[in-house]
A and B are shown apart, each in its own frame.
Chain A
Amino acid sequence: DQQVKQNSPSLSVQEGRISILNCDYTNSMFDYFLWYKKYPAEGPTFLISISSIKDKNEDGRFTVFLNKSAKHLSLHIVPSQPGDSAVYFCAALYNNNDMRFGAGTRLTVKP
């Protein structure tokens, strides 16, 4: 039962342009959403999060948008840099229990 879905396995953008990574979820009880960044052979690292009572959270070049009615969230990276190339995982929390992850999207930022 995949409650968190990232339908795009990969995304390629040019340096300096915007990267938009998408995530959909099915469980309306999720109350917190997070994005993680993962480099090869390393553990994921926390990037940014958003509470279900908000629709936007911004941290530097990273902004997460939440559309609860559509059960959809997205991560915007502006401007994209080559060092942003990694796999990005969307995750969701319900009632402070274990986290559910999407399948990940591999972002490649070309110089």
Chain B
Amino acid sequence: SQTIHQWPATLVQPVGSPLSLECTVEGTSNPNLYWYRQAAGRGLQLLFYSVGIGQISSEVPQNLSASRPQDRQFILSSKKLLLSDSGFYLCAARLGALSYYGYTFGSGTRLTVV
């Protein structure tokens, strides 16, 4: 079965500091990978998605970036965090091109920027 690992689970970072969140996927190859953010009291906002190594599409212009250095690794980064970057970050994967069971999500990272 497909498993998604995210770390760290919680993170408190000062404004202006860098960020690196990592996501790895097991049990599948060449998955579509996604980064979502859930801000307080809001829904799930798609930030980035990737259909393959080195292929990143951005949904929302911001000071975050994503990279996919390996097939099953997806990284979310920032050079300088803003207070507005606080939220719950979720990595998700979809197996193959026709998966009507939607996405499998990781357990998330709670980021608090202070």
* Chain A interfacial positions (CB closer than 8 Å to B): 6, 9, 32, 34, 36, 41-46, 49, 51, 89, 91, 93, 96, 98-104
Contact = CB atoms under 8 A, between A and B. Distances in A.
**Size bin of chain B's contact surface:** 20 to 34
Interface of B: 4, 6, 9, 32, 34, 36, 41-46, 49, 59, 88, 90, 92, 97-98, 100-108, 110
Contact of B107 (A6, A42, A46, A89): A42
A90 to B, nearest CB: 9
A51 B43 contact: no
Contacts, number: 59
6 contacts: A32-B100, A34-B101, A42-B107, A96-B97, A101-B36, A101-B44
B44 A98 contact: no
